[in-house]
Amino acid sequence: LIGLYIDFLVVAKRSPFFSRSKIRPRQYISGKDRRELILLCAFNMLLVAPLVSVPLYETLWDRIHGSKRLTDEDEWVWQIEVLQKLPIHFLATEVGFYTIHFAMHSCPSLYQHVHKIHHRFQAPTAMTCVYAHPLEFLVGNLLPIYLGPIITNAHPLTSYFWFAAAIIGTCKGHSGYRIFGCADYHEEHHFYYKYNYGGIYVLDFLIGTMKVSS
pLDDT, tens digit, 9 for 90 and up, residues 100-133 = 999 999 999 999 999 999 998 877 778 888 999 9
Banded model confidence at residue 2, pLDDT cuts 50, 70, 90: low
> 3-class DSSP state for residue 182?
strand
Distance CA 49, CA 44 (A): 6
CA end-to-end distance (rounded Å), the chain: 30
**Average pLDDT, integer, range 68-83:** 96
Amino acid at 30: S
Q: What would you report as the CA-atom Rg of the chain, rounded to the nearest whole angstrom?
A: 18
| Per-residue pLDDT at 202 exceeds 90 | yes
Residue 52 or residue 122, greater confidence:
52
pTM: 0.86
Which class for 103: exposed (0-12), middle (13-18), buried (19 or more C-beta within 10 A)? middle
